[in-house]
Amino acid sequence: MRIWVVGGAGYIGSHVCKALRRAGFEPVVFDNLSTGSRENIAPETLFREGDILDTQALLKTAREFRFDGVVHLAALKAPEESMRNPELYSRNNIIGTLNLLQAVLETGIPHFVFSSTAAVYGTPEYLPVDEKHPTHPENYYGYTKLAIEGFLEWYGRLKGLKYGCLRYFNAAGYDPDGEIQGLEQHPVNLLPVVMETAMGWRPKLQIFGDDYPTRDGTCVRDYIHVTDLAAAHVAALEDLRKGGESFTLNLGTGFGITVKEMLHKAQEITGRPIPFEITGRRPGDTATVIASSAEAKARLGWVARHSDPDTLLRSTWKAYQAHEAVSSNRSRDRHPLARS
């Protein structure tokens, strides 16, 4: 079973490829390497460098491999950037996906698994957030994902495409086996930023507000390990292959941890000081976001197995330490901080 992993050179895509290989699928990566890296592609995985804005490259690849399914992860994903430059997000995320769907339909690929996000919900009206929760994205990035979910629903109705939309909550962690070590280049999520601070690449961690109505005043989030996310993609493809109907599912743990709790645990695990400062709240941030993944369990038999804070932090620290060991022999300008 050959799976087209579009965006497979990225952070989550590389873990998806590993899970697919382990489950007996043959992933083929298609990626323009804009935020992903070759380092993330295992030597045994076939790779075609290409852009989802290039309709000919998409068709050529689809015809060359005659795929049995697609996992579509290629997107720009920075909420703040999407508010400054919505046209860029329309082009890359929406038009790119429509191009991909065109190639999928033209070549008769039957199954489509899509990386969606908790950002489609906006500020929670109740907790935990389940799939019936209203969708009111508060940033343009989240809107692009919701729009794509809508296209999939219509293509399902009109063209018979079978799809699975997976709404990830806060993706975090690294391969616990230490095989995938490509670090994100300009991370915005908490764990890599904490690790960059522990490495001394950033002077301090900014905590955006400590006056929220939570245990310690900092925001509560539901962190889900990439290895768990990857397993859900395999389960999603297997379910669709068995003839399952299309679905939209949350992927989270149902448990929340505050920014300060994560920071203290990171200090323990890294054994390094992680200086921080409290700055003002960021617009759009909400006190607590926690997922209900009861549907994913019921439908796919999927549960999070690697998403406890200890595993999240230890696996991430391992990847940063491996990078430190390798880069100690390289010039300093390979480090993210040195470029900024």
Instruction: Please give the Cα distance from 290 to 16 (Å, whole number).
Output: 23
Residue 36 binds ligand NAD, judged by CB under 6 A: yes
Instruction: Please give the Cα distance from 25 to 241 (Å, whole number).
Output: 12
Taking CB under 6 A as the binding criterion, the range among 32-40, 230-238, 255-263, 326-334 that sits at the site for ligand NAD is: 32-40
Query: Out of 90, 181, 189, 267, which residue is the one contacting ligand NAD (CB under 6 A)?
Result: 189
Residue 45 binds ligand NAD, judged by CB under 6 A: no
Q: Is 75 left (phi over 0), alpha (psi -120 to 50) or beta?
A: beta
Min CB(166)–ligand NAD separation in Å: 8
Min CB(255)–ligand NAD separation in Å: 17
- Rg for the chain (alpha carbons), in Å? 19
Query: Out of 117, 214, 227, 293, which residue is the one contacting ligand NAD (CB under 6 A)?
Result: 117
Instruction: Please give the Cα distance from 136 to 157 (Å, whole number).
Output: 23
- The H-or-E segment that residue 77 falls in is none
Query: Out of 1, 23, 33, 94, which residue is the one contacting ligand NAD (CB under 6 A)?
Result: 33
Whether the bond into 128 is cis, omega within 30 of 0:
yes
Residue 121 binds ligand NAD, judged by CB under 6 A: no
Residue 98 binds ligand NAD, judged by CB under 6 A: no
Binding mask 147-186 for ligand NAD (x = CB under 6 A): ---------------------x-xx---------------
Min CB(210)–ligand NAD separation in Å: 23
**Residues with Cβ within 8 Å of residue 278, at least 6 apart in sequence:** 207, 209, 210
Min CB(340)–ligand NAD separation in Å: 18
Choose between 33 and 105: whose C-beta lies nearer to ligand NAD: 33
How many helices (H) and strands (E) would you count in the chain?
Answer: 12, 13
Choose between 53 and 337: whose C-beta lies nearer to ligand NAD: 53
Instruction: Please give the Cα distance from 85 to 62 (Å, whole number).
Output: 30
DSSP H helices, 184-225, are: 190-198
Binding mask 197-236 for ligand NAD (x = CB under 6 A): ----------------------------------------
Given the residues 11, 141, 155, 212, the one annotated as active site: 141
- The H-or-E segment that residue 18 falls in is helix 11-22
Residue 79 binds ligand NAD, judged by CB under 6 A: no
Give the up-direction half-sphere exposure of residue 136: CA atoms within 13 A in the CB hemisphere: 7
Q: Is 141 a catalytic residue?
A: yes
Residue 78 binds ligand NAD, judged by CB under 6 A: no
Instruction: Please give the Cα distance from 60 to 193 (Å, whole number).
Output: 39
166 touches 230 (CB < 8 A): no
Annotated catalytic residues are 141
Residues that bind ligand NAD (CB under 6 A): 7, 9-13, 31-36, 51-53, 73-75, 77, 92, 96, 115, 117, 168, 170-171, 189
